[in-house]
Amino acid sequence: MLKQCEGSQAVAEAVALCRPEVICAYPITPQTHIVEGLASLVKSGALSPCEYINVESEFAAMSVAIGASAAGARAYTATASQGILYMAEAVYNASGLGLPIVMTVGNRSIGAPINIWNDHTDSMALRDAGWIQLFAESNQEAVDLHIQAFKLAEELSMPVMVCMDGFILTHAYERVDVPTQEQVDAFLPRYVPRQSVDPDDPVTIGAMVGPEAFMEVRYLAHAKQMEALELIPQMAEEFRRVFGRSSGGLVRPYRCEDAETIVCALGSVNGTIQDVVDEMREAGVKIGSVSLCSFRPFPSAALGKVLGHASRVITIEKSLSVGIGGNVSHNLRMSLPGRDTKVYTVIAGLGGRAVTKASLRRTFEAAIRGTLDPLSFMDLNVKAVERQLEREKAARRTGPAAEAILRDLGPTVGASASTTTHGPAAGAAH
Amino acid sequence: MTSPLPIKFYQTGTFTVGNRLLDVSVRSVQSDSQRNNSLNSGHRACQGCGEALGARYALDAAMRAVNGRLVVANATGCLEVFSTPYPESSWRVAWLHSLFANAAAVGTGMAAAMKVKGRTDVRVIAQGGDGGTVDIGFACLSGMFERNDDVLYICYDNEAYMNTGVQRSSATPAGARTATTPAVGEAPGNVMNQGKNVPLIAMAHFIPYVATASVADLRDLETKVDKAMRVHGARYLHVHVPCPLGWGCDTGDTIKVARLAAESGLYPIFEAEYGEITGRRMIRKRVPVDEYLKLQSRFSHLFKTTEGRARVAQIQAIADRNIARFGLVPEGAPA
Ligand SMILES: Cc1ncc(C[n+]2csc(CCOP(=O)(O)OP(=O)(O)O)c2C)c(N)n1
Ligand code: SF4
Ligand SMILES: [Mg+2]
């Protein structure tokens, strides 16, 4: 049914349509509206049977999901930012145990300095945890990916993370087609675990594995993700047949056919990028873009096909691998074996900094001119950081730089002008 | 308190309360040839391991109480490591190990799954060592209590992180030597504290059932597990399990050491319902703490100096306080 609603509400409804049996909730901005929406659906009886558990931490959230999933229930949780790091150990454990848990990540930066706004640092921190990671471009895709995620997880016996940009998607009101229960039931069968903790068939799960078998276990996790490379497009195609629209898949190219320049990004920023591509195409520039829907597994072959003929690739990345640069570009180079394609890594939008069309266009044009650095930081206040580096050169000091930068910028920035040290985000919900 | 029949202890002179003297229907679970052997032989625990003994008795009693309808979540630690070196397993119950700190939460998840699937006959036990319970697993444990989830949590307290080589936990007793509280310097061994009493903290959650037990009295342990499994909601059982390796006691003295802990008052054995103490195991033959401490090399430094002697006196004061607080000696009995 078409409706105008908040992204989080739409996702809550989509998750409910998947009939999760155990939901674990621990609040963190910007994920809160999703678990609040589900709380209402469970408490009102609209989603039943379902156990909704208000846990005491994200670590417990993932651990309860592990117990529930291992005992044969369809389990779901959602988190973001500090929350996913707080549960990190259990995130790895869930995949190691082969549990098909689905988790939404309302992507948000990681502190310090504490910051509640959007970037991808949180999901990136757990990219090697053995989960499938799907990134939604829009709220419609977020809804659709959740429905696919449960099926994918259960077919592969592997957990799936659906990543949606905090605020930009979670809090945006958009037109969304929320499917009917009949449609979802037709697509997503009941969960039948292959193995579970069950007194009728008692097994030992989670044994200690030594050097003689550990490599093989890890290899198999990788091999399964390679299987997912086949399954994800099939699932997107099946989804299209049942629901009448395409969502998901590995990569979503936009006007790439003859493009000499291709921009690659994760998540909602693709919408803005596509607008810029349209404008530049109108001006005669051969440019296209590709949205990476699946970051894990990384679709090297599919992406290589899309990028094949381009002479330059620009990655717009909402996370910084401190000390080297790009996460996406680093992975993407694997798709370009033996090619001399130029790759430009552009770090953008960290901590919620707006990624504007104007800045994107400037960046793309600089790349085409050949004046863009291989690693650049879009809309960085270069003067402010240079002044700080000068100060630090003059007098060695320890401790955080955040307050120095805020002081330097003066009382004109943000609502935080009156709070001097530890309250740069005064008034925001953390 | 443990036996429904008036058995006179002088008939056997031991705490085993010779099953021969009991009616078949009230004999111990372990004496039953049909017992489950939940933690089966062949595991790799050290000789004389109190934890292996406690876990075996506890789970066999639980399996009998719930007709075998049991699933178990286990924290990382000796119990997990010695029982499941892949591809072997000593468990004859449905058993899952996830992490060190999350056994209580995994138990919650299992209980939620069983409830949502309408399998209300299947019951859940979560278990771990003292480190996995009173330190790193404490948040998950308290959360499980506070929500009153239908899980029995069993802590096997050997008073240190044994699996990693005997480091101090917050259950390590005053003065004890561990690998991280070495018996060197001005104040050798562990700090002289009162410890963190998790049974009392559990009671502060007003959950249906909390009890302490010891491998010194296995019949009492069985009875408490049985009782716990007949109640729903969050339950907590704290079992004192000597570790010969970590404590430096003779592998043949596990039961004796455990008994002296209880008989000196250092380890009070009691039970509580909804936050109120409802039962205590009286001390039969009170002993000074020296008798308990001297059997263990982790306390040997205390007996070498006058300062050490003063510390033993402080430990005796802890025992005396326990005895007064829990009423472990009948009024008027000689101190
Ligand atoms: C998060 C984490 N921290 C530390 C460890 C290392 N570790 C494994 S078992 C263990 C000690 C367990 O002690 P306890 O819970 O008292 O059980 P015991 O071995 O004494 O029976 C430790 C520290 C771990 N596995 N995970
Ligand atoms: S170290 Fe202690 S707890 Fe661990 S197996 Fe040996 S005796 Fe048991
Ligand atoms: Mg221990």
- Residue position matching structure tokens 């394609």: A341
**Confidence band (pLDDT; 50, 70, 90) for B17?**
low
Asked if pLDDT for residue B51 goes beyond 60, the answer is yes
Residue type, B322: N
Alpha helices in A265-356 (DSSP H): 269-282, 300-307, 328-332
Ligand 1, closest atom to CA B132?
Answer: 15
Whole-number Å distance between alpha carbons of B142 and B134: 10
**Full DSSP string of A238-276:** HHHHHHSS---SSEEEES-TT-SEEEEE-TTHHHHHHHH
B116 touches chain A (CB under 8 A): yes
Rounded to two decimals, the pTM is: 0.95
Instruction: Mark yes or no for CB contact B97/A206 under 8 Å.
Output: yes
A196 three-state secondary structure: coil
CA B299 to chain centre: 20
Residues 36-75 of B with CB under 8 A from A: 68-71, 73-74
Q: So what's the pLDDT on residue A422?
A: 40
Hey, of A64, A77, A208, A214, which one would you mutate to test binding to chain B, going by the most B CBs within 10 A of its CB? A64
Asked if pLDDT for residue B335 goes beyond 80, the answer is no
Chain A residues within an 8 Å CB radius of B95: 197, 202-205
Instruction: Mark yes or no for CB contact B102/A197 under 8 Å.
Output: no
Q: So what's the pLDDT on residue A397?
A: 77
Q: Which residues contact B187 (CB under 8 A, 6 or more apart)?
A: none
C-alpha B79 to ligand 3 mean position (Å): 9
- CA-closest candidate to residue A23, choices A59, A70, A57, A55: A55
Q: What is the largest CA-CA distance in chain A?
A: 71
Is residue B218 within 8 Å of B193, Cβ to Cβ?
no
Q: What are the backbone angles phi and psi of residue B178, rounded to the nearest 5°?
A: -135, 180
Nearest CA in chain B to A94: B98
Q: Can you give the pLDDT of all 430 residues of chain A as single tens digits?
A: 899 999 999 999 999 999 999 999 999 999 999 999 999 999 999 999 999 999 999 999 999 999 999 999 999 999 999 999 999 999 999 999 999 999 999 999 999 999 999 999 999 999 999 999 999 999 999 999 999 999 999 999 999 999 999 999 999 999 999 999 999 999 999 999 988 999 999 999 999 999 999 999 999 999 999 999 999 999 999 999 999 999 999 999 999 999 999 999 999 999 999 999 999 999 999 999 999 999 999 999 999 999 989 999 999 999 999 999 999 999 999 899 778 899 999 999 999 999 999 999 999 999 999 999 999 999 999 999 999 999 999 988 778 888 888 888 887 655 443 433 343 343 455 6
DSSP 8-state class, residue A425: T
Is residue A132 within 8 Å of A297, Cβ to Cβ?
yes
Asked if pLDDT for residue B281 goes beyond 70, the answer is yes
Is residue B302 within 8 Å of B309, Cβ to Cβ?
yes
Q: So what's the pLDDT on residue A421?
A: 38
Q: What are the backbone angles phi and psi of residue A114, rounded to the nearest 5°?
A: -60, 140
Q: Whose CA is nearest to atom 17 of ligand 1?
A: B129
Region B275-284 average pLDDT: 96
- Residue position matching structure tokens 């300095």: A113
Q: Which domains does chain A have, with CATH numbers?
A: 2-243 (3.40.50.970), 251-379 (3.40.50.920)
Q: So what's the pLDDT on residue B75?
A: 98
Is residue B127 within 8 Å of B103, Cβ to Cβ?
yes
Nearest-10 crossing angle of helices A214-243, A300-307? 60
Whole-number Å distance between alpha carbons of A364 and B201: 61
Is residue A164 within 8 Å of A136, Cβ to Cβ?
yes
- CA-closest candidate to residue B262, choices B248, B290, B281, B275: B281
- CA-closest candidate to residue B210, choices B190, B227, B188: B227
Whole-number Å distance between alpha carbons of B303 and B314: 13
Whole-number Å distance between alpha carbons of A119 and A107: 6
Q: Which residues contact B272 (CB under 8 A, 6 or more apart)?
A: B199, B203, B209, B210, B211, B278
Whole-number Å distance between alpha carbons of B151 and B112: 10
Q: What are the backbone angles phi and psi of residue B296, rounded to the nearest 5°?
A: -125, 125
Ligand 1, closest atom to CA B78?
Answer: 19
Phi-psi region of B127 (alpha: psi -120 to 50; beta: other; left: phi over 0): beta
Residues 96-115 of B with CB under 8 A from A: 96-99, 101-102, 105-115
Architecture in CATH of B36-326? 3-Layer(aba) Sandwich (3.40)
